[in-house]
Amino acid sequence: MGRLPIRIYGDEILRKKAEPIDFVNGELHKSRLEKLVEDMLETMYAGDGIGLAANQVGVLERIIVIDLGEAQPGIESGPRCYINPEIVSRAGVDVMEEGCLSFPNIHAEVKRPSEIEVKALDLEGKSLHFQADGLFARVLLHEIDHLDGVLFIDYLSPMKKLLLRDQLKELEKRAQMSGGRE
């Protein structure tokens, strides 16, 4: 498979809630999961992204991949994958510019918590529990939102949304024409 088509804003799958992966009963599907994660990473790199959620490639399962490109405080460089990620606590506030592979050419400043605590599973189904801040926290928050059908434009002020209205309409039109696939 390799690179997967990215679903663009307007595709209803981006508004759906993804389902948790069941490791206990789903062990047989491990090779499928590994392949999917590999393909998600390839897709993310091809789009020059630093994070991607499974909804964005049309899969309603709670999987995200992240690669910040270079080491950041508290995190080494390299690809990461989190299964069933959950934010268990949040603190502080930070404003950063965000983009999203499902919104080509759209960027906007978004206010989010600055420090978070996350629980997740790794590809083997092993429990992870860690803290994140800075860019790492930002990407985790953005990607975990995707799994709940929440998009970064949902946080924009009415004024900023108004400014982006035509661009968003254009994307919706494109998504409808292509059945959402890019």
Q: Which residues are catalytic?
A: 143
Report the residue number, 29 or 150, with the smaller CB distance to Ni ion.
150
At its nearest, how many Å lie between Ni ion and the CB of residue 30? 26
User: What does the angle CA 113 – CA 7 – CA 155 come to, to the nearest 5 degrees?
Assistant: 25
Q: Which helix (H) or strand (E) holds 72?
A: none
| Closest CA relative to residue 103, chosen from 51, 58, 151 | 151
Q: Which of residues 118-177 bind Ni ion (CB under 5 A)?
A: none
Report the residue number, 100 or 118, with the smaller CB distance to Ni ion.
100
Report the residue number, 22 or 154, with the smaller CB distance to Ni ion.
154
At its nearest, how many Å lie between Ni ion and the CB of residue 98? 8
At its nearest, how many Å lie between Ni ion and the CB of residue 99? 8
Alpha carbons 38 and 20: distance in angstroms, whole number = 19
Phi, psi angles (nearest 5°) of residue 84: 50, 45
Q: What is the distance of C-alpha 135 from the center of its chain?
A: 13
Residue 105's alpha-carbon distances to 98, 115, 167, 168, in angstroms, are 11, 27, 9, 10
Q: Which residue number places its CB atom closest to Ni ion?
A: 100
Contact predicate 99/84, CB 8 Å: no
Q: Which of residues 88-107 bind Ni ion (CB under 5 A)?
A: 100
At its nearest, how many Å lie between Ni ion and the CB of residue 124? 26
Report the residue number, 100 or 116, with the smaller CB distance to Ni ion.
100
Binding pattern for the stretch 13-52 against Ni ion, x by CB under 5 A and - elsewhere: ----------------------------------------
Q: Looking at this protein, which amino acid is placed at residue 21?
A: I
Binding site for Ni ion (CB under 5 A): 100
